[in-house]
Amino acid sequence: MVAEPARSRVDERAMGAGTTVRFVLLVVLLLVSSATMTANVTAWLSDTDSVEGFACLLATGMDPNDAYSAAGEASFMANVAAYEACIARHERPLPWWIHLAWPALLVVLASVLFWCLHLWKARRGRVVPLTAIDRDGEILRTVESLAASAGLARTPNVVVDPAAASAGAVVFGRNRRPTVCLHGGLLARRATDPEAFRAVLLHEFAHIRNGDVTLAYATVAVWRVFLAVVLLPYVVWWIIAFPGGPWSPEWSGAVPMATRNLVLAVFLVALIHLARSDVLRSREIYADLAAARWGADPRPWAVATPGPPEGRLRRLGASFVELWRTHPRWDLRREALDDPAVLFGLRSLPMFLTGVAATLINSQVRLYLSMSDLTRPWLGQVAAVAAAGLVTGLVGVALWRAVAHAVLTGRRVPSGLRAGLWLGTGMMAGELVLNDIVLTEWLPQRPAILVLVVLAGAAFTWWVAQCAHLWLRAWPGRTIRPVMLAGLASACLVLSAWFTWWREWGSQYLNGPAFDTHALLERDYPGEAADHPAAASVIGIVHPLLHSLDQPLVLPMVAALWAVPLLAWTSRRATATLRWVPGALREPAAAEPPVELPPLRGMLGVATLGGVSGWVAVAGAAAYMHSWQPPRGQRGGLYLWIYEGWVLVALVTAATAAAVAASAVASRHRLLIAIITAELAALIGLGGWFGLLSVDGCVPLLNTLASSCQWRPAAAWPLVQLLAGQVLVVAAVTAVIAAATVSAIRQVWTPGGHHAAKARPAREGRGGLVARRLCVGVLCAAAVGVTVLEEASLLDMKRSSKREAAANVQLMVPVGEPPAVSAETRAMQVLAWKNLGAGDLVRRYADALERLGTAQIQAADAADAANSARAEIDPATFRPICADIGQVARDADRYFRVPDPQGQVLWRRFIEQAAKGSQECQQSLDQGDSALFTASNDSIAKASDALTSLLDRTDVVLRDGGLRRP
Amino acid sequence: MTTTEEEGAAGRVKVREVVRDVVASVAPEELPLVDGLVAFDDATVVRRLGTRGGRREPLGFGWGEVVALATPVVWLVVQQLADRAAASAVDGTAKGTRAVLRKVFRRRAKPAEVPALTREQLGEVRQRVVEVAVQRGLDDERATAIADALVTRLALTAPVTPVPEPVSPDRPGPGDRA
């Protein structure tokens, strides 16, 4: 490479600018926000503001000031069925279309405004037609000739604003029917400076040609309608519905919630403004470049600008003000005319804003779906894919463009890390302004976990940038669009998987370990768990995390992570300039020699070595398991769990070691090489384990599960399948960490060594290419095959274990006492518990009791009348009463636990005694056993005593909390 | 200026005609602007010319700078003269009512006319033009040239003998009931 080659000038049209996606993101954000913001207002207006919903939550024992505490969560999980029944019974959800009505209204009004904006701007009294001033038709002729130079199919409508003293022009309307308005100042300047007149017109025509008009004014229309129809009612709602004052019991919990609601509104305003200005600024530069291309004189761009202000603070202030402007600084515009590098740079602000928007869209779509009662698992995935698609459309395109520009101009290829950190920071900031990860507190209990979001953003952009770089070095096509699209599609998949995982599982770790399967293990394998307490605890914590990776999008993501870059090795080694390069340059400089991809053979060698070591490590794990192999028939349970755990550790460690080795050797594409190597090593290791399991029982020292030697692939496969997905995902994650660590170390040790990649002479025979393609083909087929098999088993498992999982969820969450709260809150909880159904249950029980008493008196009277010593018990009279008591007991069991520990003890006793009494009664009637009938009466009496004590207890709680007079 | 003789004879001339003549002599490149402004009624012209400063609209070229133009200066000063004269001639309430009715029926006001001015008054007008021109960013030389051109044009309509009650361009004079 020449030390400082003449920089080639890139044609800014060679790659999509991603402008449409940026506008679409803004509009989608506004629509989604309007849906959720107005849902609050609608619920409040229609008086279904979830008073009962809140009461149902209170009855679970939730503390309104600490909703996401571990104790609160546990208490909620213990009552989850009762809560759902409570919501179904008491809450009157609004019809789903109500929630759609407001966004629909927004769209309709925005469309009307879009049309009216054009009419308003071109109204009589503001502009005059060009013909009114252009008597000799000279201006029109100039306009027509310029429109022809700009390649416009027809000359736009031109009007004049004679009162505007600025020497500019503006275009409005829509792309198909634009109107250009010339300002008076421009017309006056035309005589003295015809070149400036031409430049301004060409710039406006460029906006038309670039299709900016509709998008710009549609955004304006949506934004203005959003302000009037959504934001204003929302703020009014916020002010009116704000909780009373510091004396109200829910004040301390409501303030963070309400503050975030307001911050969200402010954030949205700023976000939309900044994002819109940012995209408009880049459109201006595109228009300038097009105008210059069509022959505009560059002199009009030579506007004198004041130099940067003195002092750091002032400079900061100036650049802050700059962010809100719709036009870039003149010096930037002038520079861009010479070299449009600014259009290809990765800037922090758009990345940050996109991150925020992504979180807002993803979370609010889910919230909206849940409010509209449209909760379906696949809808969550759709929300994630939509948010990921928009982010990829912006960030991915920006990364590809930046990398392509660097490749074309011989500049340093950006790593994408900085952009990703900004993206991740934006995603994190989005989380903090939503009432999603926390509700009643300012911060989640473990805010540090939010760093994961930032790191995920960085890992994503790092991967995208490296993929772009790899493919751009290898792509044999004439234009890079197809490969860019394919790269972006896979990037979208990667990000979707992250969004789904984070929203459904990851964010739950922010408020403590959500799940612990330790209790489950202790229940299912009591003896073994006691023998291996450490293993049981580790599995208890790690298993839910690994299980959370069993998401439909996660494995395809992993496959994309390594198969997409791997495919680049199928391309022929370029011997001259790549075919897409000349088309992307306007003034081609001396062609840079193509840089070769790292050799595939080396990578495969390291991966194989890693795979084989993984296999050896698995054999070691088997040997260890063999050392304490339980007797035949007891080799399932925790033994199997521990065995699988060690296999996972062995395979992932080997894969990570391979990733470290491969990325340490590599001079570029380190992340991709690490992931490919790790995945390949993991696959080879898994294959080895499959072989080992299939001959389990044949190698004396390695026998684990089987006792006799036999070839059993069918028995081995389900076990391998169970673990394969998790091994591949964890290996991918550790590979990313490995690559990051190696890169950081290399950066410290050999600063700048990164760029010292030598261009090797490209020499390869036909046989080499075929072998390479064959090899990559086989590996990609393996990636896809494993993914398909794993996905199929995942679906199967989901179906069969859904019921089981529902039963287990309560065990996974430790059931504790309701969280300690103030007397006032406790009284509110108990009142909610009473009012939402306990009162009904008590009434039903009292009614049954009364009927029982009456029936007994009647039976006694009948016995007296018949002078019989024994009362005759008529089963037809007593059976329904006893059945009713049993039903009350069952219903009570399904109802909320009493949000007061003492009360709960009495409630439990009542349920048990009532159930016992009912059962004994019915049994005695069936068998004609009078002693049992008497016993049943005793049980029912005990139940009644427990219930009376409970009611006394609730009275005490209510009195203590000030909800009942002493 | 062939029509000037007749106008002089009639004693009154329309504001827009005076503006056109002056702009044609000092800033002919601005004639298209005058042609465009003529399409509006006087009130609209004054309102639109009165607001200053360029707006940076989205999809505009982005030149925030305002071109120093002669047309607004001339039009605003002459219109002010005409308005003062009209104000002294018509009762305020009647004028207001008429303006409202005109708005309701979307009828254009009759273009304002410039009164005949005395030599002193012409001097004051000259002073006023220079002031406004400098305020609107024109240099002194250009301001003087515009003022001279306007005074020359107005002088052509001036009466031979001074009118008894003078009308100052920036102070409404006492009622002229002619």
| DSSP for residue A908 | H
Q: Is the pLDDT of residue B164 over 50?
A: no
With b for 16 or more beta-carbon neighbours within 10 A and e for fewer, the A61-77 pattern comes to: bbbbbbbbbbbbbbbbb
Which of A160, A165, A207 is nearest residue B36 as measured by Cβ atoms? Answer: A160
Cβ neighbors of A697 (< 8 A, separation 6 or more) are: A703, A706, A707, A708, A709, A710
Residues of A in contact with B33 (CB under 8 A): 133, 162, 184, 187-188
Q: A700-752 pLDDT, tens per residue?
A: 888 888 878 888 888 888 888 888 999 999 999 999 999 999 999 988 886 55
Instruction: Output the pLDDT for position A881.
Output: 92
Closest B-chain CA to A276: B58
Specify burial of residue A284 (Cβ count, 10 A radius: 0-12, 13-18, 19+): buried
User: Tokens representing A229?
Assistant: 């129809």
Which of A132, A168, A325 is nearest residue B36 as measured by Cβ atoms? Answer: A132
Interface contact flag, A213 B29, Cβ < 8 Å:
no
Instruction: Output the pLDDT for position A587.
Output: 67
Long-range contacts made by residues A243-249, C-beta under 8 angstroms, separation at least 24? A249/A64, A249/A65, A249/A822, A249/A824, A249/A825, A249/A828
User: Tokens representing A892?
Assistant: 């009570």
Closest A-chain CA to B75: A163
**Which amino acid does the sequence have at A141?**
R
Instruction: Output the pLDDT for position A798.
Output: 61
Roughly what angle, to the nearest 10 degrees, separates helices A713-749 and A554-566? 60
Min Cα separation A302/chain B (Å): 11
Q: Of B81, B67, B66, give the one whose Cα is nearest residue B19.
A: B81
Is the Cβ–Cβ distance between A610 and A657 less than 8 Å? yes
Residues of A in contact with B58 (CB under 8 A): 216, 220, 280, 326
Residues of B in contact with A126 (CB under 8 A): 48
Residues of B in contact with A325 (CB under 8 A): 56
Instruction: Output the pLDDT for position A149.
Output: 92
Instruction: Output the pLDDT for position B165.
Output: 45
Backbone angles phi, psi at A717, to 5 degrees: -55, -50
Instruction: Output the pLDDT for position A763.
Output: 54
Sort strands A157-161 and A178-183 into parallel, antiparallel or unpaired. parallel
Of residues B150 and A596, more confidently modeled:
B150
Instruction: Output the pLDDT for position A901.
Output: 86
Closest A-chain CA to B49: A163
Min Cα separation B54/chain A (Å): 5
Q: Is the pLDDT of residue B102 over 80?
A: no
Instruction: Output the pLDDT for position B151.
Output: 92
Which of A132, A171, A213 is nearest residue B35 as measured by Cβ atoms? Answer: A132
Interface contact flag, A188 B40, Cβ < 8 Å:
no
Interface contact flag, A220 B58, Cβ < 8 Å:
yes
| Residue B68, CA distances (Å) to A856, B40, B42, B117 in order | 108, 21, 21, 28
Interface contact flag, A162 B33, Cβ < 8 Å:
yes
| Residue A814, CA distances (Å) to A77, A122, A517, A520, A817 in order | 9, 68, 9, 10, 10
**Which amino acid does the sequence have at B26?**
V
Instruction: Output the pLDDT for position A1.
Output: 37
Mutation target among B59, B71, B132, B135 for the A interface, most CBs of A within 10 A: B59
User: Tokens representing A172?
Assistant: 């409005």
Instruction: Output the pLDDT for position B8.
Output: 43
Whole-model pTM: value is 0.81
Q: Which residues of chain A have pLDDT under 70?
A: 1-8, 47-53, 65-71, 73-74, 92-93, 243-251, 371-377, 512-516, 574-576, 587-595, 750-767, 797-819, 965-966
Closest B-chain CA to A200: B61
| Cα-based angle A588, A590, A595 (whole degrees, multiple of 5) | 105
Instruction: Output the pLDDT for position A52.
Output: 62
The residue written with tokens 């010319």 in the block is B49
Interface contact flag, A165 B44, Cβ < 8 Å:
no
Interface contact flag, B61 A168, Cβ < 8 Å:
yes
User: Tokens representing A35?
Assistant: 């849906």
Residue count of chain A: 966
3-state secondary structure of A357: helix
The Cα–Cα gap between B80 and B22 comes to 16
Mutation target among A181, A187, A222, A301 for the B interface, most CBs of B within 10 A: A187
Sort strands A157-161 and A169-173 into parallel, antiparallel or unpaired. unpaired
Residues of B with CB under 8 A from a CB of A: 27-30, 32-37, 39-40, 44-45, 48-49, 51-52, 54-67, 69, 71-72
Instruction: Output the pLDDT for position A487.
Output: 93
Residues of A in contact with B69 (CB under 8 A): 165, 184-185, 188
Mutation target among B61, B66, B103 for the A interface, most CBs of A within 10 A: B61
3-state secondary structure of A358: helix
**Which amino acid does the sequence have at A446?**
R
Taking the CA of residue A845 as centre, how many other CA atoms within 13 Å lie in the half-sphere pointing to its CB?
Answer: 28
| DSSP for residue A810 | H
Band of residue B150 on the pLDDT scale cut at 50, 70, 90: very high
3-state secondary structure of A171: strand
Instruction: Output the pLDDT for position A441.
Output: 79
3-state secondary structure of A233: helix
Q: What ipTM did this prediction achieve?
A: 0.81
The Cα–Cα gap between A543 and A640 comes to 13
Is the Cβ–Cβ distance between A827 and A836 less than 8 Å? no
